[in-house]
């Protein structure tokens, strides 16, 4: 009986304690909490790095396509030699691992 009476008197205090616990737990571990924030931040940084790598590859490919379209003889000769393993008689081949 005394317990229920004291709980009735301290309703506001208990409500505030549970409310603060709820806010604290969701602030740290909820879907929009600190842990989720740092996970999303790490993912975002990884995506930025991947974008930089892909952008560099795209620029390289654009440059190679430009050289092919211009019929650059040096680049076409290099491609021809790489793809078909072509060498002339006066060249020496040195294989490096």
**pLDDT of 54 strictly over 90:** yes
pLDDT band at 82 (very low <50, low <70, confident <90, very high): confident
The 8-class DSSP code of residue 10 comes to T
pLDDT at 87 (0 to 100): 77
pLDDT reading at 1 higher than 70: no
- Beta strand segments in the chain, E: none
Q: Are 37 and 30 in contact (CB under 8 A)?
A: no
Report residue 55's pLDDT band, with 50, 70 and 90 as the boundaries: very high
> What pLDDT does residue 59 have?
98
Output the pLDDT for position 56. Answer: 98
Domain residue ranges of the chain, discontinuous segments joined by +: 9-84
């Amino acid at each position: 009986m005394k317990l229920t009476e004291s709980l009735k008197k301290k309703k506001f205090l208990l409500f505030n304690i549970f409310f603060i616990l709820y806010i604290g737990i969701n602030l740290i571990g909820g879907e929009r909490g600190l842990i989720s924030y740092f996970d999303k931040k790490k993912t975002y940084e990884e995506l930025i790095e991947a974008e930089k790598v892909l952008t560099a590859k795209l620029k390289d490919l654009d440059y190679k396509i430009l050289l092919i379209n211009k019929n650059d003889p040096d680049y076409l000769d290099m491609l021809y030699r790489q793809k078909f393993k072509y060498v002339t008689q006066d060249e020496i081949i040195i294989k490096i691992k």
